[in-house]
Amino acid sequence: MDMNTLLSFNWSAMLPEFIVLGTATLLSLLDLFMGAKKDRRILGWIGLAGISAALISLLSLFGPDEVTILYDTFVLDPFAKAFKTIFLLGSAIVFLLAISYDPKDKIERGEFYYLLLTALLGAMIMSSSRDLITLFVGLELLSLSSYILAGIRKKQLKSNEAALKYLVNGGISTALTLFGMSYLYGITGTTNLIEMQPQLNQINDPSIYYVLGISFLMIFVGLSFKIATVPFHMWAPDVYEGSPTPVTAFLSVVSKAAGFVLILRLFLWVFATIPVNSISESMLVSMQGFVAIVAAITMVVGNTIAIRQKNVKRMLAYSSIAHAGYLLVALSSFSTLFYLDTIWFYLVTYVFMNLGAFAVLQLVMKETGSEDLTAFAGLAKRSPFIAISLTVFLLSLAGIPGTAGFIGKLSIFMSTLTSSTPQIVLAAIMIATTVISYIYYFGILTQVYFRTSEEVKKIHLKKPVILVLIVCIAGTILLGLFPTIALDFFYSTF
């Protein structure tokens, strides 16, 4: 590639990525030259400013136009814009949590902040990738950063265990995903998703269909590790428990959303174009039953095992697994009325309600030194504001009317009924498991309002956490009462 060709690209399409990359580089240099005893929280504020600038630059690029550069390997299309908004918004909230995180955990180091930025950069690259190679590069950038963040508390055994389990399971999932991708390359002779489509449309050899089916299953299983669906979920509770709370929050929201972005990119752009059985049915639709079974098992296992948890971090881990099942329900519906917008809206609501819950958990852990369910006893008397905030988030996670979580679950439920083949059984399982989730969500609220604690000390609130709680409460309630705010924003990008 000569200099003229390099300069001919419309690099403004990558402006948000350049800002995040530049901020991460700046933080690494500042951390290198700062004294050992200097407070690194200033790096967190600089990182937050970089994320805000990236979000503003992304909003300035909104519009119906699609921009492709680097020989169609990087695309700034409505899909990328919509999901990058989730990544940047979620990461900004996580940074506020990281800035206010308790320094007793010995992670007051600069790499804690710029590794979050590199993980964010990987997720953003994935959302704009239109090539298997760039998809994989983004996935690995996100994964490698996450492995280090999970084990950043080097002197704590649980953190070491979290990093090791995450690394091993992540390596297995990466190998399976890459193996599945290799079949696509072997059949089509290209790594570009757009160039694959005309070749896959012309396939009529049953043996090739068999290989493509294996490719689909291997990619789906590999990515199921990333989004923590059953039975590929066993790493999630231990990793969530052992990681620092801001890292756990990042993994539960941004990393999970990135996993679904990768699934949507590959499945909608590749497998949805492969005709099987008849011209009107694609390979993606033919795998509907398989995806539905995984979704059903994930919802049942995630919600039922969460009931047995006494550690709230592990409880939220199994809750996250259950919510991955809800999202798979939307994915398996292939509804003409509800599909991409349903998944996007649910991920937006999940940002607010789940990160808000982790913010409260971080506050309680700081004051009590415990993640146990009993640490929330008497919270309503110690801090009414925190208790009310937690109530809003848990009610939304449970899907109670008036909250964003209810609208998200309702949209998914409607998608199962409006698909070409209504999935009544899957809809019934979703309702039943949602009711089961009330047991452990309301169990926390029982501790908050109806149990007493010997600890009467009020919980001290720092300004970054107050801002997180206000933003998350506002998002959870507003999207519950006026969901068209988010949906109109989504539709305006397409």
Q: What DSSP letter does each residue of 456-487 carry, written as one string? A: -PPPP--HHHHHHHHHHHHHHHHHHH-THHHH
Q: What's the pLDDT band for 1 if we cut at 50, 70, 90? A: low
Q: Has residue 107 been placed in a domain?
A: no
Q: Which amino acid is at 402?
A: G
Q: Has residue 47 been placed in a domain?
A: no
Q: What's the pLDDT band for 104 if we cut at 50, 70, 90? A: low
User: Per residue in 143-163, pLDDT tens?
Assistant: 999 999 988 888 788 888 888
Given a cut of 90, whether residue 101 has pLDDT beyond it is no
In this predicted structure, what is the pLDDT of residue 277? 63
Average pLDDT of the chain, as a whole number? 87
In this predicted structure, what is the pLDDT of residue 347? 93
Given a cut of 80, whether residue 11 has pLDDT beyond it is no
Cβ-count burial of 457 within 10 angstroms (0-12 exposed, 13-18 middle, 19+ buried)?
exposed
**Cβ neighbours of 365 (radius 10 Å):** 19
Given a cut of 60, whether residue 298 has pLDDT beyond it is yes
Q: What is the DSSP letter of 420?
A: S
Give ∠ CA 193-334-130 in degrees, rounded to 5. Answer: 15
Q: What is the largest CA-CA distance in the chain?
A: 72
Q: Average of pLDDT values for 433-442?
A: 94
- Residues with Cβ within 8 Å of 326's Cβ and at least 6 positions away in sequence, in order, are 295, 299, 346, 408, 409, 412, 430
Residue pointed to by tokens 């005309």: 198
Q: Tokens for 371?
A: 């993640």
SS3 per-residue string spanning 245-314: HHHHHHHHHHHHHHHHHHHHHHHHHCHHHCEECEEEEEHHHHCHHHHHHHHHHHHHHHHHHHHCCCEHHH
User: Per residue in 50-76, pLDDT tens?
Assistant: 999 999 999 988 876 788 888 888 888
Q: What's the pLDDT band for 207 if we cut at 50, 70, 90? A: confident
Given a cut of 50, whether residue 217 has pLDDT beyond it is yes
User: Per residue in 365-407, pLDDT tens?
Assistant: 888 878 888 888 888 888 889 999 999 999 999 999 999 999 9
Q: Has residue 160 been placed in a domain?
A: no
Given a cut of 80, whether residue 10 has pLDDT beyond it is no
**12 vs 313, higher pLDDT:** 313
pTM, 2 dp: 0.92
Query: How many Å apart are CA 200 and CA 467, to the nearest integer?
Result: 49
Given a cut of 50, whether residue 337 has pLDDT beyond it is no
In this predicted structure, what is the pLDDT of residue 279? 53
Q: Has residue 241 been placed in a domain?
A: no
Q: How many domains does the chain have?
A: 1
In this predicted structure, what is the pLDDT of residue 288? 82
Q: Has residue 255 been placed in a domain?
A: no
In this predicted structure, what is the pLDDT of residue 107? 57
**103 vs 256, higher pLDDT:** 256
Q: Tokens for 220?
A: 């789906």
Q: Tokens for 433?
A: 């498991």
Query: How many Å apart are CA 201 and CA 273, to the nearest integer?
Result: 6
Task: Please give the residue range of the domain that contains residue 325.
Answer: 302-494
Q: Has residue 352 been placed in a domain?
A: yes
In this predicted structure, what is the pLDDT of residue 201? 82
Give ∠ CA 152-157-159 in degrees, rounded to 5. Answer: 30
Q: Average of pLDDT values for 113-125?
A: 93
Q: Has residue 488 been placed in a domain?
A: yes
Q: Average of pLDDT values for 277-290?
A: 73
DSSP of 44-87: HHHHHHHHHHHHHHHHHT-SS--EEETTTTEEE-HHHHHHHHHH
Q: Has residue 421 been placed in a domain?
A: yes
In this predicted structure, what is the pLDDT of residue 105? 54
**32 vs 390, higher pLDDT:** 390
